[in-house]
Amino acid sequence: MDSQHGHGDNPDSRTRVLTDNGLELYNANIRTHLKKIELVQTEVELCLERFTTTNSEDYETVLEIQKTLNLCHCKYSLYSEEYLKYLRNTRTEDSLRIAEEHKKEDLKYKDIIERALQQTKVSDRHETSSQFTHRSGAHSRASSNSSSVALRKRAKAEAAQVKLEFALKEAEMQKQKAYIEEQEKILKAKSITKKAKLAAEIELLNYKKEAAAAVAEAEALQHEQSAFGSKKSDVILAKTAFDRTRQYVEQQGDQVLAADHNVNTLHNPFVNLVVGDACDESRNWPTFKQTPKPSHPKYGVPSVFNNDKPAFRTAISVRKTEISNDFDLQKQCLIHKTGHSLNQCRAFKSKPLQVRKKFINDNKICYGCYGIHAQNDVNAYLTHIAPDGRASILQTCPYNYDVNECFSCGSINLGVHHKKNGNITSAIFERTTQDDKPGLSIEDRQFLEIMQANLQKDSNGNLCSPLPFRTPRRRLPNNRAMVLHRAKSLEKSFDRDPVKQEHIFAFMQKLFECKHAELAPPLKSNEECWYLPVFGIYHPKKPDKVRCVFDSSASYDNVSLNSVMLRGPDMTNNLVGVLMRFRKELIGIMTDIQQMFYSFTVNEEHRNFLRFLWYRDNDIDNELTDYRMRVHAFGNSPSPAIATFALQKTAEIAEQTFGKDVKDLVCRNFYVDDALTSVGSNSEAIDLLNRTKEALKTFGNLRLHKFSSNSKEVRTKLDPEDLAENLENLNFETDNLPLQRSLGLYWNLESDTLAVFR
């Protein structure tokens, strides 16, 4: 809503007061205008930096820079005029004040661009540089005003020339695109023709196949007629498959019944008939365990080869179909397609239980032998009987499996075992405590291999590791110009927030004092490097402390540092498990590691990938200088995995000297750099903390500090320097104990209760 201010009815003296929505729209438009102006300024700065590094005799490069500066001058003038017009039309006190300030800055910046344009003139470069150093103030203003119009016209003309060049390039590219599309159409037509020819050849082969089958059948009939006579052949062909099977069983059954006079010959041999030894020996069929079927009772036939004691052999149904003995039991591993079997495949065994079951079901693999029962030929004579009495057209597998429960190590272990002839051969489906944990990816395994092979101690006792780069990866470009622009933007923010400036410079001072960063040496010719932008963030619960983060995700030329590094596996302990163990015993203790990420250094050959720009001697009045990190930085995606891996490795090395409980505390009860655990007594808590502190100091140069406990005796006997900051100077007998904060929770030491952050 507008309101009147000023003197009389003079329209220039009226200002406006914006509503909340209007103010929000105003701020958004201001940001849009400033962003456009800053982009042009950045382009000008890049041109000037390129000009300072260009040889004076490289006239083509100088002319190219001059053209770019002319375009930037035109764009800046246009954007600046639009910005001033918007500010004046808004007519608020703030917009008018900003308009006046911008007008002064606009004149200064235009003068800078015009001077830069004059310096880039190839013909009189030295002459103009001397004029800049010796001309008087009045003469400078007069010449600047007189040449402004000419420079703008020249810039417009050069801009038109550049547009023409781009139009010519675009036309050439359109021609290339049309040629490529034409070639693609030709290739597509050739492909369609080739497919049609292949289809015709396949159809012809099918016809030849049918003709060959007909010829083979005719030859077989002719051979049969010549062997048995035409009359007998006609009788055989007239019978159906069922009749031939029935006739065969009658013949075999008569032989068996004739051998045993005790069998009633009046019984019908086709009612639930089970053929015994005679049928088995004459046909040499595979043997199966006899299993009676309740719904179809079978009659056993004594063996003709053993007259002393009746013996029952494998039952074979004669009412189904027969499978040939000659079948393939394909046991080749379906994952690697090599000679080893699926039962011997380590990759298959390492997969979770549900994944293995799904793989076997999807590929129709036998659970007993891990092979595929694929028959070569099937005829319509008989069916095999499985051990459970079930009829099957496939020959049954000699293996079977059983499920065992094992209550070892406090966990139920369900296993599916191979068993052949009563002997267990393997336990590929054995359930373990690792089954519910996600498996490692290929990149996670590569990360762990790099850490295992290259983690070592440096001269100061800190663990040192390389940056885990992907293999292969893209070569990183030099992004110093982009980081320089980010550094200048950060410097502008210091003018708006002096408190933040003070906090960031204090953080960087501590970084340099602890030797976590160092001056970067000059780069060698064509040496690969990367620069990291720096910015500060505040913790919501710690408004007086800032943490400087290195933006490793900042992209330049479609690549960033994080995009070429392996992130590593998630090695952080489960938060719920840590908290549950923290509440398990009577005495609770809490501690953390001082500057955990900065406790692990980076190999010398990889430090140039962690370069950054900062003010020399940490003084904002000095120039920006190249520095580089000596330690793993906040913002690098693999830093958490590297720190956790190195910390757990330190605990494993220290186990032999300081005990297994020290390793368990570090490997199971740390969540990143915070440790929470509980023990049964005060003496155990004091001893565990002191031994863990000494172990980490000895084997990793790590400092364990900020101890706190719900036990007064534990707090009293610990070193005051190692206590939490708000416990150092307290009298535990009389003073109230402050709340301890960790992992998003408040811990009341007096009542031993937990509360959630709000």
- Element of type H or E holding 3: strand 2-3
Which of 38, 54, 42, 47 has the alpha carbon at shortest distance from 69? 47
596, two tokens: 């955990």
**Residue 729 pLDDT > 60:** yes
Of residues 267 and 408, which shows the higher confidence score? 408
- Do the beta carbons of residue 439 and residue 350 sit within 8 Å? yes
Q: Which DSSP string do the residues of 681-701 spell out, in sequence order?
A: SHHHHHHHHHHHHHHHHHHH-
- 193-218 pLDDT per residue, tens: 888 888 888 888 888 877 777 777 77
pLDDT at 222: 66
Q: Output phi, psi for 743, to 5 deg.
A: 55, 40
Among 370, 395, 424, residue at a domain's last position: 370
**Could you read off the pLDDT of 143-167 as tens digits, one per residue?**
444 455 555 566 666 666 766 766 7
Asked if residue 200 belongs to a domain, the reply is: no
Angle separating helix axes 639-658 and 442-454, nearest 10 degrees: 50
Indicate the average pLDDT of the chain.
Answer: 76
In terms of C-beta distances under 8 Å and separation of at least 24 residues, what long-range contacts does 347-353 make, across chains too?
348/428, 349/428, 350/439, 351/439, 352/435, 352/436, 352/439, 353/429, 353/431, 353/435
pLDDT, position 134: 40
Is the distance from CB of 691 to CB of 659 less than 8 angstroms? yes
**What is the distance between the alpha carbons of residues 457 and 112, in angstroms, rounded to a whole number?**
53
State how far the Cα of 613 lies from the Cα of 520, in Å rounded to an integer.
10
Percent of the chain with pLDDT over 90: 31
pLDDT of residue 8: 39
Q: Is the pLDDT of residue 6 over 80?
A: no
From residue 199, give the alpha-carbon distance in Å to each of 195, 239, 277, 301, 447. 6, 40, 53, 58, 49
Mean pLDDT computed over 671-696: 93
Give the pLDDT band (50/70/90) at residue 310: very low
> Does any domain span residue 13?
no
Whether residue 693 is contained in a domain is answered as yes
Instruction: Name the residue with higher pLDDT: 148 or 11.
Output: 148
Query: Which pLDDT score is estimated for 144?
Result: 45
- The answer to whether residue 233 scores a pLDDT higher than 60 is no
Report the range of poorest mean pLDDT among 89-103, 262-276, 599-613, 651-665.
Answer: 262-276
Q: Which of 345, 370, 395 is the last residue of a domain?
A: 370
pLDDT band per the 50, 70, 90 thresholds, residue 50: confident
Indicate whether 747 belongs to any domain. yes
What value does the mean pLDDT take over residues 714-731?
83
Question: Is there a single domain that holds both residue 602 and residue 723?
Answer: yes
Is residue 590 over pLDDT 70? yes
Same domain for 488 and 364? no
Query: Is a pLDDT exceeding 60 seen at residue 275?
Result: no
Confidence of residue 265 (pLDDT cuts 50, 70, 90): very low
pLDDT digits (tens, 9 = 90+) for 499-533: 999 999 999 999 999 999 999 999 998 999 999 99
Best CA proximity match to 610, nearest among 549, 654, 651, 660:
549
pLDDT of residue 226: 60
The answer on pLDDT for 380 being more than 60 is no
Return the residue matching tokens 């963030």: 537
Cis check for the bond before 294: say yes or no (omega within 30 of 0). Answer: no
689 located within any domain: yes
Instruction: Check if the beta carbon of residue 79 is closer than 8 Å to that of residue 71.
Output: no
pLDDT at 650 over 50: yes
Mean pLDDT across the stretch 575-579?
92
Based on its alpha-carbon atoms, the radius of gyration of the chain, rounded to whole angstroms, reads 43
For the stretch 592-612, pLDDT in tens is 999 898 999 999 999 999 999
Which of the two residues, 638 and 129, has the higher pLDDT score? 638
Residue 188: pLDDT band with limits 50, 70, 90: confident
> 178 pLDDT band (50/70/90 cuts)?
confident
pLDDT (mean) for 680-705: 93
- pLDDT of 3 above 80: no
Task: Kindly report, residue by residue over 351-370, the tens digit of the pLDDT.
Answer: 888 888 888 888 878 776 77
pLDDT in tens, 539-575: 877 788 888 999 999 999 999 999 999 999 999 999 9
pLDDT digits (tens, 9 = 90+) for 17-43: 888 778 888 888 888 888 888 888 888
Q: Which of 332-346, 384-398, 543-557 has the lowest mean pLDDT?
A: 384-398
Mean pLDDT of 638-648: 94
**Inside any domain, residue 69:** yes
- Range name among 111-120, 196-205, 276-285, 607-616 with the lowest pLDDT average: 276-285
Secondary structure (3-state) at 92: strand
**Residue 320 forms part of a structural domain:** no
**694 is in which domain, residue-wise?**
479-755
Domains held by the chain: number: 3
Q: Is the pLDDT of residue 253 over 70?
A: no
Q: For residue 158, what pLDDT is reported?
A: 66
Task: Average the pLDDT over 613-620 and give the result.
Answer: 94
Q: Which of 197-211, 399-413, 436-450 has the lowest mean pLDDT?
A: 399-413
Q: What is the pLDDT of residue 741?
A: 85
Q: Looking at the structure, do residues 492 and 362 belong to the same domain, yes or no?
A: no
pLDDT value of residue 410: 44
Quick check: is 62 in a domain?
A: yes
Q: pLDDT higher for 407 or 430? A: 430
Question: Which residues on adjacent β-strands are paired with residue 113?
Answer: none
Pairwise CA distance, residues 334 & 408, whole Å: 33
pLDDT digits (tens, 9 = 90+) for 59-80: 777 788 888 888 888 888 888 8
Low-confidence winner among 165-174, 237-246, 592-601, 634-643 (lowest mean pLDDT):
237-246
**In the predicted structure, residue 185 carries a pLDDT above the cut 90:** no
**CB-CB contact of 455 with 464 (8 Å):** yes
Q: How confident is the model at residue 429, as a pLDDT?
A: 58
Mean pLDDT of all residues in 264-289: 38
Q: Is the pLDDT of residue 669 over 60?
A: yes
Range with top average pLDDT, 32-41, 289-298, 319-328: 32-41
Residue 706: pLDDT over 50: yes
Instruction: Give Dmax over CA atoms of the chain in angstroms.
Output: 142
Which of 120, 154, 185 terminates a domain? The answer is 120
What is the rounded average pLDDT of the residues 469-496?
93
Residues 496 and 627 occupy one common structural domain:
yes
3-class SS at 70?
Answer: helix
348 and 496, same domain (yes or no): no
